[in-house]
Structures are given as structure tokens and as C-alpha cells.
């Protein structure tokens, strides 16, 4: 194979979700759609690598200093939803159930990976929380050990303030079958059972 | 989400093997690796879209008019392996069992898709076959109805010549379990059974 094609396939194959086989198929598909797909994709990758940056307020990715969510005056300034990374923010936005603002931590505390409070955007969150208009901080972190450790750390830091600090509910995923659920989730779902009448 | 990011995700999601979810993950991964991955990828996509073209002899993709296989004097000029597309050529090369040259048809005959002989590089194959130095044409086409129709069509066209026209063997895939094989393959494997002593 031509070495430039080999390089392209190797580079594409590094993307999550693409292995060598699908990278080869993708390259052939791109070459069959040069004007409609390959050249525009090259241009977009170049432009976005140069222009997209974290929002100075919340850490969301955007082409402006202040992201379109922080710019949007119709969004509730009194509630901040804390997420680990931008992918989680996108997931919340897709669900379209939250009309407040976000705060992207940039990960979780992790003893194993040597990530401490200074490696996350926690100080900036505490400053935002003191801005006066904020009434609730929703910790939408992973239900993992690291995620929950991080949530407790932040909740403790926020304790002196008069803010509501909440976390997402644990329980049976909508559409989930009990048979496939892990014991931890089942235990949480039973503990937090809700009255039906 | 920023509209430029949305566009990039939509475009990446059109690649075979990438859906919307993996396209989103890929974009976040690219943004975390701008200098090492995103910008070089943009450059390679642009350059390759502009430079890679079909080999004038065999149809393989290369940055030169004559591909590196056709340029390679150590390759056997007397055998031409006919494949449907460049992906199949790459698969043969990965197996590293064929040291001759190739001919890329650009698909198969297909009544359903309205592809006739003029839509494939069959005329060019017949001209190459008459070049004198060729002794064997190996039809490495898919074992599908369209693939086999195409193989028979080409074999007939080549009948007047004195060339050996062969096809790949059908049978049990190496590592394959009989239990999972279709009846057609089993029938072919039994018919073409080989002596062991």
C-alpha cells in the first residue's frame, strides 16, 4: 500500500471506535467521496482544531470565549450542573431536561491516576457558586468510586455556603431489566423506592 | 452544541463503522490531541484527496500514475489477480501470498444495480491479458451470485486466449467450525475434498 495511505489509516485507526479494519474501510469510503466528504472533513478538522476552545466560565467547548449556553439569557443562572467532561454535558443537553448552566470539572479526583483537586476546575466552581444568583449545585458525576469521591469532596467544600447541593438519583435505568442490573444499582433502587399511591 | 462541532460530528458519523455516538467520542478525542492527531489528520486528508488516484494499469490507489506494485520489477508480470475493489487488493497484500500483479474491476456485474460490463474495467483487463507476458488470470471475486456471474463473464471473454483462467478455491475457512458454516460452503468443500495420503 502507498505509504501516505498507510499513514492515514494508522492515524484514523487511533480514534476511539475505529480499529485498523474500519479505518481501511473509512479511507476507501473517503476516497470515493472526496469533494462531498473528504475535503470538507479536512477543512473542518483544521478549522475546529484552531478555533474551538473551553468556555472561560463553564469549560464547555465552543468557538467563542463564552459558550452559547453561558451566553443564553433564557437559561436559568441559579442552577449549575457539574459534569466530568464535555461529553457528559452533551449527553445532558441531548436529554433536554436541564435549563440551567454547566460546570465542566475536567475529570474526577483519582488517587490511582494522581489527579488531585488542583487538576480539576473545582476552585473556579467554588467562585461561581459564590456569585450570589446561584441557589443549587447539581453534581452529575459518574456513579463510580472516583466520581462519588469527587462529589463528596465538592459537597464538603460547598457546605459553608447556603446552597442546595444535590446529586442525580440512582436506580433502575428506564427500559432496563432487573435481571441485567448489578447488585449495587438494585440496592440503591430499593433504598430510594418511591410511593405509587 | 456549537454548530461547527455539530457539523463535524455529523460528517464523521457518515464514515462506515462510525455512528453518531462514536463520532462524538472521536471529536472529543481529536480535540484533546490537536497537535498530535487532529491537525496532522486534517493535512493528510487534504493531501491524499488531492494526490491519490487509480493506477493507470491496474486501478490500485497510489500517489503515482503507476502504483508501487506495477512499478515493482520483482513482481511476477505473468500472473494477474482480478479483484472487485481496492479493499480486496489490500486484503490479498496483507495475506502476502501473491507475488504477481492485480487488476481492480471496480465492482461486479449487477442486474439489480444496473452495472454492465462497460461500467467495469473489463476491456482494460482483456487488453492487459493479451500483452504476451501474461500466462494466468486469477479471478479473486466474491463468492456471491454477482461475483460469480462476473467471473464467468470474464472467463468466457478470455476463452479464445490461451491463458489459464483460475478462481480462488471454495471451502471451509481456516479456523472455521463446520457447525457455523452455510450449506453452500459445506457442499463446495465436500465436492473439492482433497486426498490426505
Given this model, what pLDDT does residue A7 score?
95
Between B76 and A181, where is the model more confident? Answer: B76
Distance from CA of A67 to the nearest CA of B (A): 8
Whether B197 has a pLDDT exceeding 80, the answer reads: no
Residues of B in contact with A49 (CB under 8 A): 30-31, 34, 38-39, 42
Contacts of B24 in chain A (CB under 8 A): 87, 90
Residue A75, CA atoms < 13 Å, CB-side half-sphere: 19
| Count of CB atoms situated within 10 Å of the CB of B91 | 13
Mean of the per-residue pLDDT values for chain B?
92
- Closest residue on chain A to B93 (Cα): A1
Backbone φ and ψ of B8, nearest 5°: -60, -45
| CA-based max dimension of chain B | 69
CA distance B155 to A121: 69
Inter-chain CB proximity B17 and A38 less than 8 Å: no
Query: Which residues, 6 or more positions from A142, have their beta carbon under 8 angstroms from its beta carbon?
Result: A84, A108, A148
Distance from CA of A12 to the nearest CA of B (A): 8
Does the model's ipTM exceed the 0.90 cut? no
Q: Which residues neighbour A181 within 8 Å (Cβ) at sequence distance 6 or greater?
A: A172, A189
CB distance B132 to B138 below 8 Å: no
Determine whether the interchain pair A17/B17 forms a contact, defined as Cβ–Cβ distance below 8 Å.
Answer: yes
Which among B11, B34, B39 is the nearest to A37, CB-wise?
B11
pLDDT at A176: 78
Strands (E) in chain A, as ranges, are: 53-54, 61-62, 79-83, 101-104, 136-139, 164-167
A-contacting residues in B 85-124 (Cβ below 8 Å): 85-87, 90, 93
- Bridge-based pairing state of the strands A79-83 and A136-139: parallel
Handedness of CA A45, A48, A54, A60 (dihedral sign): negative
Among the partner-chain residues A28, A34, A46, the one whose CB lies closest to the CB of B42 is A46
Predicted confidence at residue B17, as pLDDT, reads 87
Cell of B174: 481456516
Ordered domains of chain B (ranges, CATH): 3-51 (1.10.8.420), 71-167 (3.40.1360.10)
- pLDDT classification of B179: cutoffs 50, 70, 90: confident
| Tens place of pLDDT per residue across chain A (197 aa) | 888 999 999 999 999 989 899 999 999 999 999 999 999 999 999 999 999 999 999 999 999 999 999 999 999 999 999 999 999 999 999 888 899 999 999 999 999 999 999 999 999 999 999 988 999 999 999 888 999 999 999 999 999 988 999 998 888 888 878 788 888 888 888 888 877 77
pLDDT at A95: 87
B44-51: average pLDDT? 96
pLDDT at residue A158 in the model: 94
Q: Which helix (H) or strand (E) holds A151?
A: helix A145-158
Amino acid at each position: 500500500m502507498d505509504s501516505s495511505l498507510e499513514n492515514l489509516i494508522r492515524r484514523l485507526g487511533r480514534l476511539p471506535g475505529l480499529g485498523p479494519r474500519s479505518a481501511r474501510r473509512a479511507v476507501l469510503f473517503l476516497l470515493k467521496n472526496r469533494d462531498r466528504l473528504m475535503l470538507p472533513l479536512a477543512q473542518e478538522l483544521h478549522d475546529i482544531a484552531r478555533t474551538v476552545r473551553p468556555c472561560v466560565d463553564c469549560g464547555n467547548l465552543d468557538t467563542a470565549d463564552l459558550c452559547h449556553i453561558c451566553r443564553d439569557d433564557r437559561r436559568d443562572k441559579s442552577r449549575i450542573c457539574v459534569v466530568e467532561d464535555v461529553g457528559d454535558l452533551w449527553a445532558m443537553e441531548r436529554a433536554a431536561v436541564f435549563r440551567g448552566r454547566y460546570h465542566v470539572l475536567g475529570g474526577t479526583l483519582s488517587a490511582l491516576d494522581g489527579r488531585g483537586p488542583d487538576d480539576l476546575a473545582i476552585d473556579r466552581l467554588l467562585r461561581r457558586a459564590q456569585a450570589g444568583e446561584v441557589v443549587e449545585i447539581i453534581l452529575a458525576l459518574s456513579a463510580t468510586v472516583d466520581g462519588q469521591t469527587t462529589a463528596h469532596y465538592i459537597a464538603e467544600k460547598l457546605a459553608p455556603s447556603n446552597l442546595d447541593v444535590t446529586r442525580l438519583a440512582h436506580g433502575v435505568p428506564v427500559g432496563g431489566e432487573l435481571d441485567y442490573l448489578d447488585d449495587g444499582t438494585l440496592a440503591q433502587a430499593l433504598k430510594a423506592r418511591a410511593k405509587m399511591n
